[in-house]
Structure 1
Amino acid sequence: MPRAVTAESWTAGLNAFLLAARFGIGLAISAHGAQQLFGWFGGAGLSETARHFTSIGYPNGNRMAIIAGLGEIVGGLGLAVGVLTLPAAFLAAAILLYTAAIDGGFFTPEGVKYEPLLAVCAVVLGLYGPGRYALGRYIPAIRTYQFSYTQRAVLMTVGLVGVMLAIRR
């Protein structure tokens, strides 16, 4: 006879799911950034990424490639380990959605789907929270997570997109 699901077993399962989802999505986002910066995992590397940003109108493609790559690496790793999960998720999502939008849109035939999918997953995980198994729970300043962090994350994302638009021709 199957056992009844208790609140304790449900919570443990949810926390394990959040850990697995954060880890998988966060590492995928970080790997995407590493492709752009270092050419790892079959990526283009910094020079090709910079050349691409220059070709679509950025006066300093190298700077934009570094901003995009580092943002994805830092945001993805923060999401994966559960440190400042919401700001990390919004940082990564802003960069992913912005680069997807400037690369031809979201829908076929020229559109992209990988970046928006990662961005949506990151935002959902960021809004839900890191769960019990997160490194941020052991850092006292981060443990007192308040709503004001959400406001900061949204402002940071809007600011980041604003900076990206400002440095573009």
Structure 2
Amino acid sequence: MTEKPKDTSAPIAEGTASPTGEQSAVSSSTGRGVTSPYDLPTGEMPRLHSDTAPRGPELSKDVPRTDEELGLDPEIPSVGEQARANDPTYAYASIPPAPGAGGPGEPSRPLRRRNGDARRGTLDLGLFVLRLVVGGTFIYHGLQKLTGWFNGSGLDGTRDMMAGGGWDHATLSTILVIAGEVGGGGLLVLGLATPLAAGAVLAVILDAWMWKQGMIPGFQYKSGVKSGVELESILAGTAVVLLLTGPGRLSFDRNRGWATRPAFGSFAVLILAIAAAIGTWYWLHGGNPLTGIGPFN
């Protein structure tokens, strides 16, 4: 039998040079060459070492991880970042919200609609119909006095009627009543400058109410007679309603606050309209329109 030739090649020790002069590394556990530092059994990357130091995965120093160890200054927030951090508005958003349509501090229109503020149902349509009826009625009577249409008296006939009814300065009284009926009625139909329009027609109709009521002693509410104030009472009440509720969104005032949420301003216009009617009555007519009613004698 022939003996197999012995393998005289010895394994190359870890960290020794190969016959070709190249540096090689052999794993003691697997016996295969290591082609990358990550292929070491420990899974760690060897660190720098000197030629005389033992080779292996030992680390010479810790790797810096913080800004202080890297020699960097800590990041200081700017004044704007500090203000946004203290503002609860920026707690969940990086972009500041847009201001509301009603001004600073008020919610925007989409937000008001989501909160149910815009759920008005048929209210705006009802106010629009009411404005058409009330404003159209005043325009009708004003055109009768101004142009003589609809079997009206015209300017001359209206002036004579005012003079015969005890009004001083009949021409001025005629101008005031026509301006209030035609101008105020037209603005009511459009829903434009509604508080002033409603105040104007209210002052005119209150003077008409006092004029007819003072013709005969006693309360003259019945319609169908010359001194009945039933129509004047209804028109005055609807003018007050429009003044206190606003014209609604189907109007030229739809972007105004008084269109849907009238407040103290509309109430102040109501007081001024009543005061203007009383002042005009005493200045241009005089007398007590409540003569014969209850304690007024």
Alignment TM-score, normalising by the size of structure 1: 0.80
Of the three residues 156, 163, 167, the one matched with 2:280 is 163
Question: In the aligned structure 1, how far is the partner of 2:285 from the partner of 2:209?
Answer: 15
* Higher-helix-fraction structure: 1
Please say if residues 68 and 95 of structure 1, whose CA atoms lie closer than 8 Å, have aligned partners that are also in contact. yes
Shift of residue 59, structure 1, vs aligned partner: 2.7
Question: In the aligned structure 2, how far is the partner of 1:161 from the partner of 1:71?
Answer: 15
Please say if residues 195 and 269 of structure 2, whose CA atoms lie closer than 8 Å, have aligned partners that are also in contact. no
- Give RMSD over aligned pairs: 2.4
- How far does the alpha carbon of each residue in 1:70-113 deviate from its partner, in whole angstroms, 9 at most, with x for none? 11111111211111222311220221121132123642353232
Shift of residue 34, structure 1, vs aligned partner: 1.5
The 1:90–1:33 alpha-carbon spacing in structure 2 relative to 1, beyond 3 Å, is same
State how 1:52-71 maps to structure 2 within 5 Å.
52-71=161-180
- How far does the alpha carbon of each residue in 1:14-53 deviate from its partner, in whole angstroms, 9 at most, with x for none? 1111111111211111211111222122211111111111
State how 1:6-45 maps to structure 2 within 5 Å.
11-45=120-154
Question: In the aligned structure 1, how far is the partner of 2:277 from the partner of 2:267?
Answer: 15
Number of residue pairs matched? 159
Q: Which has the larger radius of gyration?
A: 2
Q: Which structure ranks higher in relative contact order (CA pairs < 8 Å, sequence separation ≥ 6)?
A: 1
Question: In the aligned structure 2, how far is the partner of 1:155 from the partner of 1:137?
Answer: 23
- The answer to whether 1:113 aligns with 2:230 is yes
Gaps of 5+ in 1: 1-6
Question: In the aligned structure 1, how far is the partner of 2:285 from the partner of 2:271?
Answer: 21
Question: In the aligned structure 1, how far is the partner of 2:142 from the partner of 2:159?
Answer: 13
- The answer to whether 1:89 aligns with 2:206 is no
State the match for 1:136 in structure 2.
253
Match of 1:83, SS state, is coil
Gaps of 5+ in 2: 1-115, 287-297
Identity in percent: 30
Shift of residue 149, structure 1, vs aligned partner: 4.1
